[in-house]
Structure 1
Amino acid sequence: MKNASLRHSAAVAASLCALACAFTSTTANAQQKTSLSVYTALETDAMRLYKEAFEKANPDIEVRWVRDSTGIVTARLLAEKANPQADVVAGLAASSLELLKQEGMLQAYEPKGFATLNAGYSDTARPPSWVGMDVWAATICFNRVEAQKLGLPKPETWKDLTKPVYKGRISMPHPASSGTGYLDVTAWLQMWGESDGWKFMDALHQNVAQYVHSGSKPCQQAATGEFPIGISFEFRAHQVRKAGAPVDLIFPKEGLGWDVEATGIMKTTKKPAEARRFADWMASREANQIHANWWAVVAYPGVAKKLDGIPDDYEQRFARNDFNWSAKNRARILAEWSSRYESKVAGR
């Protein structure tokens, strides 16, 4: 009996030791995970897929997203310049990242596989301070059912939207809070010149019912019929159309404002090795295959798929876009826009 008792005690001790070792190992692995703070304006639909795929490929790193709309993230990063909290910025507009670059806040880094990417969608400097992921462009969401009820013709151009028939029927994103709103404004100013660009926006303002704080919301409003016309972008337009909303996608003939979702590493990160691994992965074919779930144009050639409602010559419709100019003139443009149109901002 004594020997049996000893054997039982030894077995229990061994089991406890195994459990303790396993717990210690698990705790050690958890402690070894590096938390990477990533500021983003990515659509919430996409964030989970990026996090899961990156962490599967890099199990020792945990992505901690800090998300808001483009303008809010940009303002927060600039406000934190003296004490930066982000390690990486991903899924933010290239026009915003170019501004951060001009402020000396980004670390130049060429990720692995960069030579494979379409260079036209990344910083022109070498090494680049920001690297493109995908492109998004202006799209008008037009609810054909509501429009028919109201007797509204289908617009084909930006300038069509200034016709009196559309008075009070249009919603548009606020350019200070929405990257989509800002790409619209800067595209109009670059396409027509500043004098004619502001004249167009003055006329458009007469027909705008509301400026909202999201690039997605105008298309969602068009989908529900709140306003039959929403100036938005193709990701959300494609999504609401796919969900069955009676929305037509219109790509105005004069040209489309566009921007690039991109990745950049903060110069002040205390985790440079992990930040570079994140940048490497975001430039990979695997990441670009995730981009292609929603975007008709991605940085990795040959990965994008045909999306319903997006024309084959989509890229050829992009207007001229100088990111450097958009970044340098951001404060001036937003101040002028606000002085003219702030009265119709949602919630004011």
Structure 2
Amino acid sequence: MQYKNGLMGTLLFAGVAGVMTLAAPAAHAADGHVVLYSANDDTVNKLIADGFKKETGITVDVVSTGSGVLFRRVISEQGNPQGDVVWGVSAALLKQNSKYFDAHAVKGADQVPAQYRDPNNLWIGTNLQVAVIAQNTKSIDPAKGPKSWEDLMDPQWKGKLVYTDPANSGFSYATASGLLGAWGDNDAAWAKVKKLIANTKVLNRSTLVFDGNGTGEYPLGISLEYAGYLWAHNGAPVKVIYPADGTVALAEGAAVIKGGPNTANARALVDFLASKPTEEMLLKSTFRRPARQDVALTDTGGMPPLAQIKLLPYDDAKWEAARTDTLRKLKDLIQETR
């Protein structure tokens, strides 16, 4: 079977003309524009820009880059903000930078679990990223694959399992730190993480993990939920495994930038991003799990409700504060186990 040009060639990662990159747009004071600082990929940005334009007549000028770069920009522009909305960034970063946001009460916010939104309405989660194990069932019999993180430590999976370098991937860092926390955040926990990492081939980019698992180059991947369902939708023999010992689900969200040039339009855009129809559209188009719990998970290939997934508690503030030291230790483990 011919798969559709890898994940980079599918809906999520295709380059789309007309979506701006880091070049700064002019700050539009006119009614017809809003400036979106987005860490999402260009295809997702275009879906939003096109949908919002159709619904409101307002043009979305997108600045698209990594979340760290976006927030450095927000901070540097605080005396003269050029952006109106920030979106597609982690709840941890939204919490850290909430002083740069205006409070905005989104209609229907009560449909988002409390842990995935700000109690003072400074930001709201729009989608959830769930760490999973992705199994290529052509390479490994569906009944004989791993069922848990602990199973991945079995010597039989050494060299067959891929993982993104946590220094380059927020979800990889969250997975490792979430497991450390669940296993006690002590020397014994670090020993277990070392055993798990010893079985992995560490790649530089998440898309290499997604693509390698989808094509069968790597039978197993420590992956993200949406990528597995997208590959399966495109015809690849990929099975999404929710580890029996629990996993992490982290919110990505949106906020109105304080003092931006188009405040009214910014509020309208955040309402649009957090709305039920928009989250339904992104689920259908990109398999991104909605933060809203009133969105039916239909036509997703079996994506379970959040309540059916065993979730590990995750202290994002703690692990964000410990990021530098934790990444250094993880780097040492990777080097020691090569």
TM-score w.r.t. the length of structure 1 is: 0.77
Counterpart check, 1:82 vs 2:76: yes
Residue 145 of structure 1 aligns to a residue whose secondary structure is coil
Q: Summarize deviations over 1:57-111 as a string: whole Å, max 9, x none.
A: 221x32222334xxx322442365223654321122212222223xx33333222
Give the equivalent residue in structure 2 for 1:138: 131
Q: How does 1:232-243 map to 2 (within 5 A)?
A: 232-243=223-234
Residue 42 of structure 1 aligns to a residue whose secondary structure is coil
Residue 223 of structure 2 aligns to a residue whose secondary structure is strand
Counterpart check, 1:120 vs 2:114: yes
Instruction: Tell which structure's C-alpha radius of gyration is larger.
Output: 1
Counterpart check, 1:337 vs 2:330: yes
Distance 1:197 1:140 in 2: 20
Distance 1:174 1:309 in 2: 28
Distance 1:54 1:289 in 2: 14
Distance 1:206 1:159 in 2: 13
TM-score w.r.t. the length of structure 2 is: 0.79
Q: Is the 8 A contact 2:213 2:219 kept in 1?
A: yes
Give the equivalent residue in structure 1 for 2:104: 109
Q: Is the 8 A contact 1:183 1:258 kept in 2?
A: no
Q: Is the 8 A contact 1:39 1:66 kept in 2?
A: yes
Counterpart check, 1:201 vs 2:193: yes
Aligned with 1:172 (options 159, 163, 170): 163
Counterpart check, 1:47 vs 2:38: no
After TM superposition, give the deviation of residue 260 of structure 1 in Å: 1.1
Aligned with 1:298 (options 281, 284, 290): 290
Q: Is the 8 A contact 1:156 1:253 kept in 2?
A: yes
Residue 38 of structure 1 aligns to a residue whose secondary structure is strand
Aligned residues: 304
Distance 1:56 1:334 in 2: 43
Q: Summarize deviations over 1:18-40 as a string: whole Å, max 9, x none.
A: xxxxxxxxxxxx99465433222
Distance 2:202 2:266 in 1: 39
Residue 75 of structure 2 aligns to a residue whose secondary structure is coil
Aligned with 2:255 (options 259, 264, 267): 264
Q: Is the 8 A contact 1:186 1:257 kept in 2?
A: no
Give the equivalent residue in structure 2 for 1:18: none
Aligned with 1:73 (options 56, 67, 89): 67
Give the equivalent residue in structure 1 for 2:216: 225
Distance 2:95 2:325 in 1: 16
Counterpart check, 1:309 vs 2:315: no
Give the equivalent residue in structure 2 for 1:186: 177
**Alpha-carbon spacing, 1:99–1:34, altered in 2? closer, same or farther (3 Å):** same
Aligned with 1:279 (options 264, 270, 284): 270
**Alpha-carbon spacing, 1:325–1:31, altered in 2? closer, same or farther (3 Å):** closer
Distance 2:255 2:169 in 1: 19
Between Structure 1 and Structure 2, the one with more helix by share is: 1
Q: Is the 8 A contact 1:144 1:247 kept in 2?
A: yes
Give the equivalent residue in structure 1 for 2:3: none
Overall identity of the aligned pairs, in %: 24
Runs (5+) with no aligned partner, structure 1: 1-29
Aligned with 2:60 (options 51, 58, 63): 63
Q: Is the 8 A contact 2:31 2:262 kept in 1?
A: no
**Alpha-carbon spacing, 1:317–1:236, altered in 2? closer, same or farther (3 Å):** same
In the alignment, residue 107 of structure 1 is paired with which amino acid?
A: D
In the alignment, residue 173 of structure 1 is paired with which amino acid?
A: T
After TM superposition, give the deviation of residue 276 of structure 1 in Å: 1.5
User: Cα RMSD between the aligned structures?
Assistant: 2.9
Q: Summarize deviations over 1:186-230 as a string: whole Å, max 9, x none.
A: 32122112224322221122111123322x431221111221111
**Alpha-carbon spacing, 1:62–1:99, altered in 2? closer, same or farther (3 Å):** same
Give the equivalent residue in structure 2 for 1:7: none
Counterpart check, 1:98 vs 2:98: no
Distance 2:38 2:163 in 1: 22
In the alignment, residue 136 of structure 2 is paired with which amino acid?
A: N
Distance 1:131 1:222 in 2: 32
